[in-house]
Structure 1
Amino acid sequence: MIPQRIIKPLSIFFTFLFFLSCQKKVSNSIVSINTKAEVAKLIAIADRFAKNKKTDSAFFYYNKAKFICNPITDTENYVSTINDMAAIQQKHADFIGSESTIIEALPYLKNIKKPELIWNTYVTLSMNYLNTYEYKNAILYNQKALTLKTESWRNLAARNNIAIILMDEGKYAESLKNFLELLTKQEVTNDEVFYANVLDNIGFCYFKINDLKNAISYLSQGLEIRQKKERHLDSGKSLIHFAEFYKKSNPALAKKYMLLSYKQFCIINNVDERLSSLKLIIENSSNQELKKHSLIYVSLVDSIFEVRQKAKNQFAKIKYDSKKDRDENLKLKTHKAENELQLERQKNRNIISYIIIVFSLSLILVLYFYLTSRGNKEKIEATYNSETRIAKKLHDELANDIYHTMAFAENKNLSIAENREQLLTNLDAIYSRTRDISKENATIITDENYGLFLTEMIAGFKTPSTNFIINGLDTIIWNTIEKNVKISIYRVLQELLVNMKKHSNASLVEINFKNLDKYGIINYTDNGNGININDITFKNGLHNVENRILSIKGEIDLESFPNKGFKVFIKFPL
């Protein structure tokens, strides 16, 4: 006779399978509903808002269309809608959010018959990578775009993008080669706007490789066409290049071009380009002029941060609210279908079978919804904590610096060289903090440049009051170590250094690396305030450090006492 302890789990298991099969039928009946007409209607509304530059409303309706669109049966509308949403986020400088949106389309590109939709996806994604300094990925997705059979102008645009990315990387000779090849294409020379852009970029590349004769020739040709076409943005960019060209040889003329470029950008109210012009003007100004432009710069940085942060929050809320509404509607439909199915079965089952099924279904439903709820809650909390951490870091470390810099500029006499130098130092510190926050959340390089990347990260924490000693980094052959191990080591050291900088007041930090056969050893020591090891909590950064090391099958030992420094021993597999 089969034991009762086995019969009960078996009955629950088979009931679970039965429930899942029914659930699958219900879900299939829901998915099979044709929503193409409603999707087309929502997209048309979103397009009208986008045309009228009401991007928040456009994003709302695109997102609404995406959530009711079936990505299997209506793939083109699904991908097209995602492309439009990502483009709106990119326009508002929400490059991380745009990347998060656009990658939702990648699994469905294989079902697309219109290559231009795939091209749009690849190019949008490449622009996000370019603006987050992931040049390798930016070039990769433009190369993917080049493999598609699309119109010739799209092919040329992708080649132009690659040349621009190389130029941003500082690979001017390679970039120049690509631009000169574009200049041989009739489609480029026939399009005056495209032609002027290529001429200007060629001139700038020649300038960077010190071929001044060719540089001024191409820059002049590009500027002449742009001014004739009255394209203020493009003209401003040309004038910036002229300012760079004359900055050393003729500062007065360079200053003239800087002011002219700023004027062009003001006409179209392009904040990013205004900031780039202002930065050059500030570097080449003094006295009251320096104070005037510095105040404008600080005010612009403050306002653009606020506007873009509000836009990012708004886009994130729209996506979250839509997902929440969809989940609730789906649950209601599922419950309704389940109830109807239960009533139908009730007619054909006796009381004992009914009790068993209801009992089993109740347990499974509780477990299913509990696990689903917990999973969703963890995802939401993880997203919220990440965004809160970044927002707090921006508020605590960046907003206060901007405020103090503004106060300094208003209250100090900037005609005094010492005050002027201090203002520039403060502005540079603001820029450095912004870059550090971006790097802290950027992708970690794990290729052959990992050692250099790790060294740069550590060096970034060095200050006039904190000295670093790094020994033995080259003794470990990083190329042979798994990617996840390198990422964990990078994040662990970053966490330790962040804690040191925030809490320890250390004046000396020593990090020693050793290679012991199949293991790598890292000894971290600082002479800071130290901590009480017993105070480490679940949310403490040091707890995260322990978890990271244990996740790669490593070992970690912490040694510290209040006011007696801090030591960490790390052992990880090679």
Structure 2
Amino acid sequence: MIPTRLNLYFSILFIFLLLLSCQKKDIITVKQKSTKAEVEKLIIIADRFYDNKEYDSAFSYYNKVKFICNPVTDAENYVTALDRMADIQQTYGDYTGSESTVTETLAYLKYIKDPKYAWDTYIILGINYVNTYDYKNALFYYNEALKLKTTEWQKQTVKSNIAFAYMEQKKYEEAIQIFLPLTTNKTIQEFPEDHARALDHIGYCYFKINDPKALSYMQKALKIRSEIQHNRGIGTSYHRLAQFYINKNPSLAKKFMKLSYEKFTIVNNIDDRMLSLKLLIENSSDGELKKYSTIYVNLVDSIFEVRQKAKNQFAKIKYDSKKEKDENLKLKTHRAENELQLEKQKNRNIISYIIIALSLSLIIVLYFYLTSKGNREKIEATYKSETRIAKKLHDELANDIYHTMAFAENKNLSLSENKEQLIQNLNVIYSRTRDISKENSPIITSEKYTLYLKEMIAGFNTPDINLLLNGIEAISWKEIEENKKITVYRVLQELLVNMKKHSSASLVVITFKTTDKNVIVTYSDNGKGIDPNTISIKNGLHNVENRILAIKGKIDIDSSVGKGFKVFFEFPL
């Protein structure tokens, strides 16, 4: 029905435009008013909210600046607003959203002479890439920041960030070579927090390469932080000392773990509290273990909920502002066109007015149709995503926690094998919690896809499970579409999770091969198998089948009780 109406409207509109083309056309020049004064007022308000850590209000005002600011004639205010928005998203752990926001500034940095704006942008990008494990891009932007003509403090800060990126890559000796000169730099020494941070990082790097100098650097960092009463820094120092003493003096290590947790609790830093809790869980038993495990799980739930809400809220602010701007632009354009037509068509007959009315009706129909369709799709996608994550939390994490608590209550944890089993269970819970929290992160589908796929599969390899992988390098992944690579990753991940939870398999074999037109993947294990009549949504295989069918593939499941489990699927290149 709608296409038929659209054809009619387009036909009438074409006739109307043809008639107008016969007339002499006037040119209307619309002079754009300067918005700089209004922009600066909004930035003052936004900065006040930002300084008071009222980030939702600050984000909203910076976003208003973005949409009324001319990025060419007023590039400084435009870049400032976007950098602050990206920084707020970064604060809430939305590194992908932060990257998307700050990238919008890159095209307009050339209009700004002051290098501090480019420096802020590059540093934000570098931090985002470090936190998403893209160290190559992180180092690229850090080095771009280092090339700028900035203050000595800014240059030393960039060097510290570069060294930290090396440390995160476990290139400890390279990191030490950068950190060491920073500790004697007068500019860094003028800022005790930065000086202590450099000493702490050096101590940690020495600790990781078993250099006895580690302890002295850790102690120096703690002394500086204690003198300036920097609670978060003190907590970090206690955490480092706890790691240092775990094998040398367990009781002293335990003391530092508790002190670290207390300091991080005072400053209300959830990420750091989780790091301390992880150490406490790994080195506790009985009631303490249960206590710290419960706190840890509650923290994971709360941080996921808070960050997800913040992410959704900031996305909605951006979407609503863009929608409002687009609507205002349409209204202004439409009003200008109407005024011109009224001046030129005073003597027009009634047919011209009918055609104008039909044209307006077409715009309204299209607008409401597309808007309604887009809203329905967004609501449906959000609901499906939330349902899937909630189910995963219930099906995987809740059961594991319950069984771990039951194990802790019923087993003698003074026995080393029981304690090791409990620690292993808690590590599994931690890994699953981390995986679920990152569930919405994009899968790498670039040239590193093979590496990430192999790492994911290798993550299921344990002393009790032997996992063999054949033919993965023979596949030309560069020629395969991105959505198909994502499907292969998710399907194998689902099969391996089911194997680990249900099959009791000791051997898993995954084989890849290609034909002229298809990619064929075979998964098999020697587990307890499954009755084909019981295959349903409950065991996750329904999702696997839907994913394969979505890329026009085929899937076949071959299993029986006691005879292992096999899945064959293929999809076109």
TM-score range, shorter chain: 0.7 to 0.9
Q: Distance in 2 between matches of 1:191 and 1:310?
A: 35
1:492 aligns with 2:523: no
Letter in 2 for 1:125: L
CA separation in 1, counterparts of 2:388 and 2:130?
Answer: 21
Q: TM-score, normalised by structure 2?
A: 0.79
* Residue of structure 2 in register with 1:301 after alignment: 300
> Is 1:545 matched with 2:548?
yes
Give the Cα separation in 1 of the matches to 2:427 and 2:263.
25
Q: What do you get for the CA RMSD once the two structures are aligned?
A: 4.4
Q: Hey, what does 1:61 align to over in structure 2? A: 61
Per-residue CA shift, 1:525-557, capped at 9, x if unaligned?
676566999x9xxx9664543444x6xxxxx33
Distance 2:543 2:291 in 1: 44
1:236-294 Cα distance to aligned partner (Å, 9 max, x none): 21222222222212222222322232233233232222221222222222334334433
Aligned to 1:275: 274
SS across alignment from 1:133: coil
Please say if 1:482 is aligned against 2:485.
no
State the match for 1:558 in structure 2.
Answer: 555
Moved more, 488-497 or 458-467: 458-467
% same residue: 49
Amino acid at match of 1:259: K
Equivalence for 1:3 = none
Retained in 2: the 8 A contact 1:298–1:406? no
Residue in 1 that maps onto 2:456: 457
Kept in 2, the 8 Å contact 1:93–1:308? The answer is yes
1:433 Cα offset (Å):
1.2
The change in CA–CA distance for 1:17 and 1:544 in structure 2 (over 3 A counts) is farther
Deviation at 1:437, TM superposition (A): 2.9
Per-residue deviation at 1:137?
2.4
| Counterpart-to-counterpart distance in 1, 2:403 and 2:567 | 37
**How far, CA to CA, are the matches of 1:388 and 1:129 in structure 2?**
26
Kept after mapping to 1: 8 A contact 2:511/2:522: yes
How many angstroms does 1:162 deviate by?
1.3
The answer on whether the counterparts of 1:346 and 1:354 sit within 8 Å (CA) in structure 2 is: no
Q: Aligned partner of 2:548: which letter?
A: V
| Higher mean C-alpha displacement, 264-273 vs 400-409 | 400-409
Size of the alignment, in residue pairs? 549
Residue aligned with 1:558, SS = strand
Counterparts of 2:397 and 2:28, CA distance in 1: 49
Counterpart amino acid of 1:558?
A: I
Contact 1:239-1:257 within 8 A present in 2 as well: yes
Aligned pair 1:50/2:50, yes or no?
yes
How far has the Cα of 1:318 moved from its partner? 3.0
1:221 aligned residue: 220
TM alignment of 1:187-206, pairs within 5 A: 187-206=187-206
- Classify the secondary structure of the residue corresponding to 1:482: helix
Corresponding residue for residue 317 of structure 1: 316
Determine which of 384, 390, 413 is the counterpart of 1:392.
390
Taking the aligned partners of 2:521 and 2:498, their CA distance within structure 1 comes to 22
Partner Cα distance (1:506, 1:386) in 2? 28
> Is 1:173 equivalent to 2:190 in the alignment?
no
- Contact map agreement 1:465 1:507 (CA 8 A) in 2: no
Query: Measured at CA, do residues 189 and 351 of structure 1 come closer, stay the same or move farther in structure 2, by a change above 3 Å?
Result: same
2:431 is equivalent to residue 432 of structure 1: yes
- Which consecutive unaligned segments of at least 5 residues does structure 1 have? 1-7, 551-555
Of stretches 141-150 and 436-445 in structure 1, the one that deviates more from structure 2 is 436-445
- SS of match in other structure, 2:453: helix
CA distance in 2, matches of 1:19, 1:167: 69
Deviation at 1:163, TM superposition (A): 0.8
User: Is the contact made by 1:42 and 1:62 (CA closer than 8 Å) also made in structure 2?
Assistant: yes
Residue pairs, 1:11-410, within 5 angstroms: 29=30, 32-183=32-183, 185-212=185-212, 214-347=213-346, 349=348, 363=362, 366=365, 370=369, 374=373, 378=377, 380=378, 384=382, 387-388=385-386, 391-392=389-390, 395-397=393-395, 400=398, 404=402
Give the letter for the 1:261 counterpart: S
Displacement, 1:164? 0.7
Q: SS of the residue aligned with 2:53?
A: coil
Q: What's the TM-score, normalizing by structure 1? A: 0.79
Cα deviation per residue 1:74-120 (whole Å; 9 max; x = unaligned)? 32222211211221222222333323332333333333333212221
Shift in CA distance, 188/396, structure 1 to aligned 2, threshold 3 Å? same
Q: Report the CA distance shift for 1:26/1:500 in structure 2 as closer, same or farther (over 3 A).
A: farther
Is the CA contact (8 Å cut-off) linking 1:232 and 1:268 kept in structure 2?
yes
- Which letter does structure 2 place at the counterpart of 1:545? I
Helix, strand or coil at the partner of 1:513? strand
CA contact (8 A) 2:408 2:422 kept: no
1:500/1:528 contact within 8 Å kept: no
